Structure 1
Amino acid sequence: MDGGSGTNGLMVAGLLRDLGAQVSELYCEPDGAFPHRSPDPTASGALADLSARVQAEKADLGLAYDGDGDRLALVDEQGRRVFGDQIMMILARDILRQGPAKIVYEILCTQALADDVVAHGGEPVMTPSGYAFVHEGMQASGAALGGELSGHLFCRAPEFRFDDAILATVKLLNVLTASRRPLSALVAELPTYYSSPELRLPCPDTAKAGVVESVKRRFEQDHRVDTLDGARVHFDEGWALVRQSNTQPVISMRFEAHTAEALAAIQSRVQPLVEAEIERQGQG
């Protein structure tokens, strides 16, 4: 378990031991300087030490938390990263075995999540990107589960208030224990599409809305464009999302498709347009 020098380290390690787990601690002493890795466990390279420890000790999985302890990241027994939307699919399948339910997810998540929820009798509910929007979606819909690609996970409980990485950890371990299979086997059963990482391009705040609007106008005649959060353009083989950051001078993009070739085609069609619009409108 990688505490990331944050607030969860000592507490969660003790809790897991109380629940019967054997825990090998990594960076569990709180240190606000975060000397070992980024406090963001989804940052590039942040899970490298955890992955190596899991493989060296032949652990069943590796858990990692962010600095303030409200986000969960995961690697399987082979040290491979399990993404936030994949964690949601595993938890959603367990919930939906008990009956129909709503599952809230942010717009950055893979389409495979929504497709898998429907396939197992649930109702997916998409929200704009961000903690507050997922929380609001959970409250409004009465959903059993909500989450973000970044690892914020909301589990319905009698006194539901906020995202809870510790509760999500316990629920995930319950699923894994009941399955009597390695985590990699659960992940291998999930539908998988080809996705890009979230790409973030610097863009002046004054130009962000105009860039997104230009993308919308360019594609809306021939493609379905969702405007829940930015412009999500739907193609026959996948989608492209272009949205403005709510907190930084950045345009965010993500692409997904059913094949690697389609992913490359969609990205090559949309990204140059976005870059050109940032250049053009940023000069104004």
Structure 2
Amino acid sequence: MFPKPLPLLTPNTYEYESLPMVKPTGFREYDARWLFEKEINLMGVQALGLGLGHLLHEFGVKPEIVTGHDFRGYSASIKYALITGLLAAGVKVKDIGLALSPMAYFAQFALDVPAVAMVTASHNDNGWTGVKMGAARPLTFGPDEMSRLREIVLNGTSQARPGGEYEFVEGFAQRYIDDLINRPKLKRKLKVIAACGNGTAGAFAPQVLEGIGAEVVPLDTTLDHTFPRYNPNPEDMKMLHAIADAVRESGADVGLGFDGDGDRCGVVDNEGAEIFADKIGVMLARDLSALHPGSTFVVDVKSTGLFVTDPVLQQNGVKADYWKTGHSYIKRRVKELNALAGFEKSGHFFFNAPIGHGYDDGLVTALAVCDMLDRNPDKSMADLYRALPRTWGTPTMSPHCADEVKYDVVARVVKRFETLKAEGGKVGGQAIHDLVTVNGVRVVAEDGTWGLVRASSNKPELVVVIESPISEARTREMFKAVDDILRENPEVGAYNQTF
């Protein structure tokens, strides 16, 4: 028997080195995230691996799994602790080494393995670790699977089984790169910034972009797990500003930024304007629906309303489906609807055949952007951006809110808006036209200005996004109205960024 995990242990003690520690809140809606050494220790990771192996047997899935790790100083040790638990659970492990998350997803197909466990903290700050898991390619775990895994691990009900095997898959990174570049080269001469924030994507993105014929200007592509300039997060304005400066200095046609595990991509146009990912989604939907009329696109509730109102998408017969934010939710919805693609405002983009395998891959997104420019040789990225109807939107803003209370806070905010609407109240000076509560609350005013509040799925934060088709002033009025209601809850702290 393996000891039952405890929620808290003191580091540098006998107990810490002898018992597993796993903080329950680390089991998120669709992946797992902990502060390493404060919320989980290596024996706790081993308990997680044992529990995941137990779950695969419970699901009746062939007990074979692909695993890899991102470039952080502690990720390899965490991966090997996870592998130890998986082996004890009788699972055959194929280790692809240092990898991007989409490389691990690709390995499920390329190696014909049903399950995946990618050790990564994605865009979280140093100190965080986590695991993205799945057992039915191209899907990753959702709330039901994560809830069951949490129950197995925390109750210590995992059973050791025979049959565990370990194999290191040599040269898999090149196999992934070759799969991406085995396609026609670009006809248009493109100069591209490849910005990686010193994260894992620096080992792969420049090669892939050069492989399709682009001239690459590398930016922070040297791997350095201290992240000396900024955290690799293409939603972070600091990273986007750095890309914009590089675009202007080099005269690049486009700037592409990748997060820490390479499953997201941010875009800056040739004039140095940072384009939020939902607007990139609209641009790509325009481009792809011209080739595939009548296509369905899944978008998250944080995204622009242009997916419904844009006249070009309407002309091309596009069907837009707004769904829950979160890579697992959107990925699953794309598969259910057989959508051509799914877009998240965070930069997770999911392309089905003939473009991709259905999972989120920042490099596939980058290639799609390059292909869009290639199909529009007389237009710049800025031209394509200006062709969209004008809206005024905010970046994703995240006020601190503890994991233990954030869902309760959001439930109170939802109830507050529902009561306000029922009583005929106003928000930002206008009547409430609609409330979308599929994921938190998206409150829409009569003039189309909207504000979203939801709980972050992977950090102790809330998420706030505002957009107006009218003016920046209306955006600010809606933000104040939403923030005023948030401030009725003392658990809500300071924002990570505003606008």
* TM-score, normalised relative to structure 1: 0.90
Query: What corresponds to 1:251 in structure 2?
Result: 462
Aligned 8 A contact 1:216 1:231 in 2: no
Contact 1:211/1:281 (8 A) holds in 2: no
Distance 2:483 2:492 in 1: 15
What fraction of aligned residue pairs are identical, expressed as a percent?
26
SS in 2 for 1:201: coil
**In structure 2, what is the Cα distance between the partners aligned to 1:246 and 1:169?**
25
Q: Quick one: which of 357, 360, 363 aligns to 1:166?
A: 363
Could you tell me whether the CA contact under 8 Å between 1:118 and 1:124 is conserved in 2? no
Contact between 1:240 and 1:270, CA under 8 Å: does it hold in 2? Answer: yes
Question: Could you say which residue in structure 2 is the equivalent of 1:41?
Answer: 234
- Secondary structure of 2:399's partner? strand
2:199 — aligned with what? 6
Q: How does 1:27-106 map to 2 (within 5 A)?
A: 27-98=220-291, 99-106=293-300
Choose which of 384, 391, 396 in structure 2 pairs with 1:198.
396
Deviates more, 1:18-27 or 1:218-227: 218-227
Paired residue for 1:273?
485
SS of the residue corresponding to residue 190 of structure 1 reads coil
Match of 2:306 among 112, 119, 131: 112
Moved more, 258-267 or 166-175: 258-267
Partner in structure 1 of residue 346 of structure 2: 150
Q: State the partner residue of 2:77.
A: none
Alignment of 1:226-245 (within 5 A): 226-237=436-447, 238-245=449-456
2:328 matched to which residue of 1? 132
Q: Supply the RMSD in Å over aligned alpha carbons.
A: 2.2
Whether the 8 Å CA contact 1:4–1:34 is kept in 2: the answer is yes
- Deviating more after overlay: 98-107 vs 203-212: 203-212
Residues 215, 49 of structure 1: alpha-carbon distance in 2 compared, 3 angstrom cutoff: same
**Secondary structure in 1 matching 2:200:** coil
Distance 1:107 1:101 in 2: 19
CA deviation vs aligned residue, 1:47-95 (integer Å, no higher than 9, x gap): 3332222212211111111111111011111121121011111111111
Question: Counterpart of 1:274 in structure 2: which amino acid?
Answer: L
Deviation of the 1:39 alpha carbon? 1.5
Please give the per-residue CA displacement for 1:181-214, whole angstroms capped at 9, x wherever unaligned.
2110000001221223333333454341223322
Distance 1:140 1:171 in 2: 22
Q: What SS does the corresponding residue of 1:62 show, helix, strand or coil?
A: strand
Taking CA–CA contacts closer than 8 Å with sequence separation of 6 or more, which of the two structures ends up with the larger relative contact order? 1
Cα distance, 1:221–1:245 mapped onto 2, change above 3 Å: farther
5+ residue gaps, structure 2, are 1-193, 425-431, 494-499
> Aligned-pair distance for 1:274?
2.3
Alignment-derived partner of residue 103 in structure 2 = none
Alignment partners' CA distance in 2, 1:156 and 1:115: 24
Contact kept, 8 Å, 2:308 with 2:314, in 1: the verdict is yes
Structure 1 residue ranges without an equivalent (≥5): none
Shift in CA distance, 167/218, structure 1 to aligned 2, threshold 3 Å:
same
1:136 Cα deviation from its structure 2 partner: 1.3
Return the alpha-carbon distance in structure 2 between the equivalents of residues 35 and 7 of structure 1: 14
- Deviation string 1:71-122 (CA, Å, 9 cap, x unpaired) is 1011111121121011111111111112110011100011123322335320
Cα gap change, 1:18/1:232 in structure 2, threshold over 3 Å: closer, same or farther?
closer
Structure-1 separation of matches of 2:277 and 2:484: 28
- Counterpart Cα distance in 2 of 1:94 and 1:14: 25
Q: Secondary structure at 1:132's aligned position in 2?
A: helix
**Distance change (3 Å), C-alpha of 1:265 and 1:164:** same
Residues 202/21 of structure 1: CA separation in 2 closer, same or farther (3 Å cut)? closer
Measure, in 1, the Cα distance between the counterparts of 2:394 and 2:255.
Answer: 24
Structure 1 residue 153: Cα displacement:
0.8
How far does the alpha carbon of each residue in 1:25-51 deviate from its partner, in whole angstroms, 9 at most, with x for none? 122122222222211122121133322
Aligned pair in 2 of structure 1 residues 198, 217: CA closer, same or farther (>3 Å)?
farther
Comparing 59-68 with 264-273, which one deviates more in the overlay? Answer: 264-273
Corresponding residue of 2:419 = 217
Q: In structure 2, how many angstroms separate the alpha carbons of the residues matched to 1:203 and 1:35?
A: 27
TM-score by length of 2: 0.53
2:376 is matched with which residue: 175, 179, 199? Answer: 179
For 1:192, the aligned partner's letter is R
- Larger mean CA deviation between 167-176 and 50-59 belongs to 50-59
Aligned residue type for 1:121: G
